[in-house]
Structure 1
């Protein structure tokens, strides 16, 4: 049976449940009140600013009602607010701060070549219907950072129908989409069949496009398999091998630049391994072709920085880290460009390969997924 007590100062309460004791500050509770005077019933947005809450807010009384609702009366407002017990437990912040640099959110699952036999994939027709099929496919992208799609229309512009499943195209100086055409025996070296090292796209942008879609229209050439590498798994492997090298790539900025066309000079200054202030691993930028001159590393650390940079590249190149698959016409894949690196193998023989690509942003994908998860929970509770 849950119990609670209020600190004599009234600045916080302690809630004891089967999972342990959790403390909640008075100002936090008041700011997160769900009543109609504090939050708009329709969209949940706050109707008041923090300045509207007395700075000396404290808990006057608190109790757990028989229905499991935690009822709190605040002074000096003399305002009573009800809190759902499960909501409080789900939003508890009374826990030790993470001690590890590079920890991952619970919904993220790192992977390596072992995922080869279970590449996440969805059928376009089923996804277009929405429902559980789409929810599960979006969830796989959230968890693994990429997913394939099959049986889509073999038509130019079909990739926009993929983006329509979850969000919006992000237009860049390359346009709403770009062409990836390759001929094994080209008349122009621009249409090369050479392989590409695994990389994240557009690291010179700030912010980078957070999703990329590659959509196959022709694939008659031998070879040219797509390859993906989990940048988070690569970074964590570097951390295990060389914690100091990991820290160097996470705490010092690299520079990236693209000035390959008239009127365009894109630059960014960001670390190759990006951590949140509390140490969560949230991003990877790795693209040797677009890396500019690195000048933000002190002289006495530059040599070690380059050693860590080299080792991260070796880990990314390790076949034990890669998942490969071949895209056939009407197939596509979506990749989280802040996490998963992508590449292609080289070609041999004769034939052509035509893909179309575009960018989107994962806030739309995550929004679609979390909204569907919320609706599923509501439906299950009814």
Structure 2
């Protein structure tokens, strides 16, 4: 697998005598699970062979997916310690090692971690660099560590939390991972949809709605009252509406009242919004209020799906789009000039720095600024890469066209799904809103805790589970 980095990309470009070409043959597939990971294997029972566990493994950072045995009162993990680390044997083949200073820093007793605010109270910088536990013991509730401090201090770390946070090696249980479903044009057979009544009735309807978006990158909402007021209330079920130069909750038609081609009758190719912002909006909601003409079909394209194909067919192009930043601008209004910070912009494909999974697509060729920062050795390769990207975006296999009608709203994940439209005539009124990615992910995380994970105890008013200090989100 190629490493992403400007040096590697430039070196590869300089070594090629001619630019690579991309086959126009696009594989047809309905859905694919991304980031599937390795299959779990059945774990053996634990034994006391712990001496070798404290040795450093060459593959310590490798992510392991193991079916770990359950923690039973008569079959607890084996624990051992030395002057630097504590080792935990989950079974004969799977061990976790935690540095002493890491464990002390992550104590979550009420003195070290505020049970209400969920903020660290322990002074990390007062922990001795060479701290070593006086005693470690396996309890049914978790790992108990006795620390050599002036006042007696005992930390207790739940076993499941230690498995989730294990870093040497990573053994994250797969049960917590939610797969994203990649899709092409065949999604039209059964697009994700919820009803307005479901969303407005209770939080479970919102959870179902946002789960659709998390999984597929978009979701329709049917039976929406055809008014701006009802649509705005729908958006507010997720979180705060984000105000931009276009307003807060906006209505637009083809009157060029704003300096953007969205306010024309022109066709718009697949793109994401706000590439000129440092922090593009997370979600975008559209609701067609009326249209007395023809055309204006809505286009949706799963950017993650297209990226997965590009990575298979042309890994060099994928690397270029993952490394070369693209500057962008919004300059159609005399009173505004938006550019991202830093002004050099961001790559088309952004990856999670921890997992290396694709995390964001940002692409709008119309808003792209001058590419004056390109190294001369990669100019032709870069144009070939975006041409390959555009060819896949506009392939019939990738395009999902739908003619929106009044009463059906659509919400898209602007970090994943690109949207566009066909040209139209007549008057077409559309309303909608932006919602920040943090508001969206926070709302989904809270509802996931409530409906899927079922963690914690009831709050004092009995309304919802109280968040544990050992929540995997913390």
Task: Write the mapping of 1:178-257 to structure 2, written as runs, cut at 5 A.
Answer: 178-182=250-254, 192-257=264-329
Question: Quick check: 1:10–1:60 contact (8 Å CA) kept in 2?
Answer: no
Task: Indicate which of 415, 430, 452 corresponds to 1:338.
Answer: 415
State the secondary structure of the residue aligned to 1:347.
Answer: coil
Task: Write the mapping of 1:1-382 to structure 2, written as runs, cut at 5 A.
Answer: 1-17=75-91, 20-65=94-139, 67-76=140-149, 78-95=152-169, 106-182=178-254, 192-268=264-340, 269-278=345-354, 279-347=356-424, 351-376=426-451, 377-378=453-454
Per-residue deviation at 1:163? 1.9
State the secondary structure of the residue aligned to 1:306.
Answer: helix
1:366 and 1:19 mapped to 2: Cα distance?
36
Decide which moves more: 169-178 or 53-62: 53-62
- If asked which structure has higher relative contact order (CA below 8 Å, sep 6+), I would say 1
Per-residue deviation at 1:381? 8.5
Decide which moves more: 11-20 or 48-57: 11-20
2:366 and 2:96 mapped to 1: Cα distance?
50
Per-residue deviation at 1:84? 1.4
Per-residue deviation at 1:133? 2.4
State the secondary structure of the residue aligned to 2:147.
Answer: strand
Per-residue deviation at 1:362? 2.2
Question: Quick check: 1:11–1:25 contact (8 Å CA) kept in 2?
Answer: yes
State the secondary structure of the residue aligned to 1:23.
Answer: strand
Deviations 1:186-239 (A, max 9, x none): xxx996443210100121111112221112211443432212111112122111
| RMSD, aligned α-carbons | 2.5
Length-normalised TM-score, structure 1: 0.88
2:329 and 2:432 mapped to 1: Cα distance?
21
Question: Quick check: 1:252–1:296 contact (8 Å CA) kept in 2?
Answer: no
1:338 and 1:160 mapped to 2: Cα distance?
21
2:129 and 2:321 mapped to 1: Cα distance?
41
Given the superposition, is the C-alpha separation of residues 139 and 194 from structure 1 closer, same or farther in structure 2, using an over 3 Å criterion?
same
Question: Quick check: 2:262–2:268 contact (8 Å CA) kept in 1?
Answer: no
Given the superposition, is the C-alpha separation of residues 18 and 319 from structure 1 closer, same or farther in structure 2, using an over 3 Å criterion?
farther
Name the structure with the higher strand share. Answer: 1
1:378 and 1:281 mapped to 2: Cα distance?
28
Question: Quick check: 2:206–2:238 contact (8 Å CA) kept in 1?
Answer: no
2:319 and 2:441 mapped to 1: Cα distance?
29
State the secondary structure of the residue aligned to 2:215.
Answer: helix
2:101 and 2:361 mapped to 1: Cα distance?
36
Given the superposition, is the C-alpha separation of residues 158 and 47 from structure 1 closer, same or farther in structure 2, using an over 3 Å criterion?
same
Decide which moves more: 190-199 or 277-286: 190-199
